[in-house]
Structure 1
Amino acid sequence: MEKHYDTLRFEIFDPYEAKETWAVEFDKRNWHSVKIFVNDNELNALLVELEDKEKGVLTPTNPANEYGHNGVYIVDQLESDYADSYGASVCCCAGCGEEGCWGIRVKVRKSEHEVVWHDFEHEHMSYTYGGLEFHFERNAYDAEIRKLQQWAKQYKH
């Protein structure tokens, strides 16, 4: 039986033009941030949906009111030697843009053929995210990381 892998895609955008609160508030014009898509769904929206489920919220929360998008430097965390023990920040605070203020970390475990994002953890709340895990095929994951590395060289702030 063939293993099913999740898909990962990074998309670069200007958060000021997109009117992300932190980018407008701190006048971050021409800044470059990264949206993360897993299985063609934006990660921030997936996480907020799971948080709403845990809180029993009946009216969906707007993900833009909870989380912003990290800059291209996210690649440094995803590729860090500490990514499996400490984790990598996959989003930032919607209000200030700081990852440690109101963000979510994920641990990244790599093997020869697979990369697993596991143990999602909010930096201030005790959400479980339903034990969420994503399993990416290593070659496809590495191709997305190379794309991020190129953007980091091009748009480093």
Structure 2
Amino acid sequence: MGFEEELFHELATNTWDKRSRMQQEMVKGAKGEPFAVQELYRKGPLTPSQLASSMKTTTGRVSALLSALEKKGQITRESDPDDRRVVHVNLTEAGRERAERQRESMREAICWIFSQMGERRAREFVELTEEFTTYMSLCMPGKPRPTADEVKAAFSGNAQEDA
């Protein structure tokens, strides 16, 4: 077994089999209110279909989710004045405050983790995570592996975004 197989098994065990409580909460929230609130906070008004696409769920699930958020006073739904069939979902002030609290809570948790790791290791972790994520965006299971030119373009694109 090469180092790649060994590391794959170690990564799989550490990320999928031994999920931390934070990871479990993040996964649970990925299809729920916290995710929807963050999407609206980051992107601004969206249609229910756009939210469903971002959440990789059905419009029916999003509709139920939006009803719950509306009852809590965290979103409003408004018809498009140019096309009454289109509905835009907006965060209310209470929704924006919830998004900001969520972000601050996550920031505090991750900053604590980085403080435990130390600056050098935390910076290395972030750099390696960025590199790993770039490779993951190129390499899909069951698809042909990217060419050297595609890899080079992906990494030069990251360098341009960071500049």
TM-score by length of 2: 0.26
Max Rg structure: 2
User: Greater RCO between the two (CA within 8 Å, min separation 6)?
Assistant: 1
The answer to which structure has the higher helix fraction is 2
The answer to which structure has the higher strand fraction is 1
